[in-house]
Amino acid sequence: MSHIHDLGVIGGGVHGATVALFAARGGMDVALFERGPLCREASGVNAGTLTMQMTRVALIPYALEAHAMWASAGDWLGHDVGVVVCDGLSLAFTPAEAELLTFRAGKRREAGAPIEIVSGARAKEIEPGLSGQALIAGHCKVDGFANAYLTGLAFRAALIEAGVSLHENCPVAGVEREDGAFAIRTSQGVKRVRRIVLAGGVWIEPMLAWLGISLPIKTLINQLSVSERIAPVMRTVVGIANGLLSLKQYPHGTVVIGGGWQAVGDRERGGVELLPERLIGNMRLACHAIPALRQARMARAWAGLEAETRDALPAVGPLPGIADAYVCGSVHSGYTSGPYIARLLAEHILDREPAMPLFPIDRLLAPEGAGTTA
């Protein structure tokens, strides 16, 4: 009989990598299987924003903990992901946007996010790069960003140091129950594990189907663009259109414009198509907020796939009816909150009481309308 690991994690994005890391540090013998290099899907191509102003209200307490984790990444991850902690401003340019912003900021504040509404003039004091056309802004001191493309490098080193058996470029084709364990069919042969975590981002839907669970996962296709390196034009994270679009300038001078109008694509075939007219729309909005950006040339644009459940809340917890099997993903603004929420799942798997509740998928398997929508 081949070696049996305590835990097998399938999918090496920020969720899978974090569960694997903390489970290994908790004493488990962990194997992680990633079809490509670590964190090269959503977790490596995202906009890197670490914000409360785009986070769903129910996730604010988690996001605050996660923000603190990112801010101290050197301590627990041990490797640099270029985290910058700075102020965040969410702008409203019209009375309708101002009303919605005020309502949402109020809800997030009730949930613990330190967001205050400030006048357009005050927003311009906080961010001198603004055009001055904003009526009001949501101002949050707990904001910032990371260099998402460094995520895989950082986790790779940390996982190896923690003793995780790391299988990159190792697609998994299926999972079967076998003698009280799980047999994982990989491109490197069959691997056996006692417990399993499915952490496949937008691909948790086909992964769950391996175990007979049908959970529809919507795929969002977010477009990003990055400017050439320019002189400093902004010093905060700026959100527009009630958080749908965000922009920030990295210390080396590039400005990343993320979100906004979506691209098109296909999860199964993996192909995405950027839509130039929508990218231009995003850039126009960005220039409306930060006029100095009009002088910048855009260097590159790309897109990535983000998962969403029916109620837009995470799928994180045990799989109903299947002992020792778990799912971890579909966290909205999952780069911000992922490390904390995935660490909670690792605590659960280690038989410790997580500090906050998980998000079991039982609610999503009930007929439409019967589940909770908190």
Ligand X SMILES: Cc1cc2nc3c(=O)[nH]c(=O)nc-3n(C[C@H](O)[C@H](O)[C@H](O)COP(=O)(O)OP(=O)(O)OC[C@H]3O[C@@H](n4cnc5c(N)ncnc54)[C@H](O)[C@@H]3O)c2cc1C
Please give the angle made by the CA atoms of 15, 19 and 24, to the nearest 5 degrees. 150
What are the residues whose beta carbons fall under 8 Å from the beta carbon of 291, sequence distance 6 or more?
Answer: 131
The runs of H, that is alpha helices, within 59-182 are 60-71, 73-76, 95-110, 120-126, 151-161
98 vs 202, beta carbon nearer ligand X:
202
For residue 156, count other CB atoms closer than 10 A to its CB: 20
Could you tell me the smallest distance in angstroms from the CB atom of residue 291 to ligand X? 23
123 vs 342, beta carbon nearer ligand X:
342
Instruction: Give residue 274's identity as a one-letter amino acid code.
Output: L
318 vs 334, beta carbon nearer ligand X:
334
Helices (H) and strands (E) in the chain, counts: 11, 18
Distances (CA, A) of 292 to 227, 231, 242, 254, 361: 12, 10, 22, 13, 46
49 vs 227, beta carbon nearer ligand X:
49
**Can you give the binding site for ligand X, defined by CB under 6 A?**
10-16, 33-36, 41-43, 45-49, 171-172, 199-201, 203, 222, 224, 258, 304-306, 329, 331, 333-336, 338
Could you tell me the smallest distance in angstroms from the CB atom of residue 240 to ligand X? 14
Could you tell me the smallest distance in angstroms from the CB atom of residue 41 to ligand X? 3
Distances (CA, A) of 38 to 56, 74, 308: 26, 19, 21
What is the CA 140 to chain-centroid distance, rounded?
19
Could you tell me the smallest distance in angstroms from the CB atom of residue 248 to ligand X? 9
201 vs 318, beta carbon nearer ligand X:
201
φ and ψ at residue 52, rounded to 5 degrees: -90, -20
Could you tell me the smallest distance in angstroms from the CB atom of residue 10 to ligand X? 5
Could you tell me the smallest distance in angstroms from the CB atom of residue 342 to ligand X? 8
37 vs 129, beta carbon nearer ligand X:
37
SS3 3: coil
Could you tell me the smallest distance in angstroms from the CB atom of residue 332 to ligand X? 7
Could you tell me the smallest distance in angstroms from the CB atom of residue 125 to ligand X? 25
CA distance 368 to 219: 18
120 vs 210, beta carbon nearer ligand X:
210
Query: Two tokens at 351?
Result: 């038989």
169 vs 372, beta carbon nearer ligand X:
169
Distances (CA, A) of 132 to 102, 157, 319: 19, 44, 50
Of 216, 196, 155, 201, nearest to 345 by C-alpha is 196
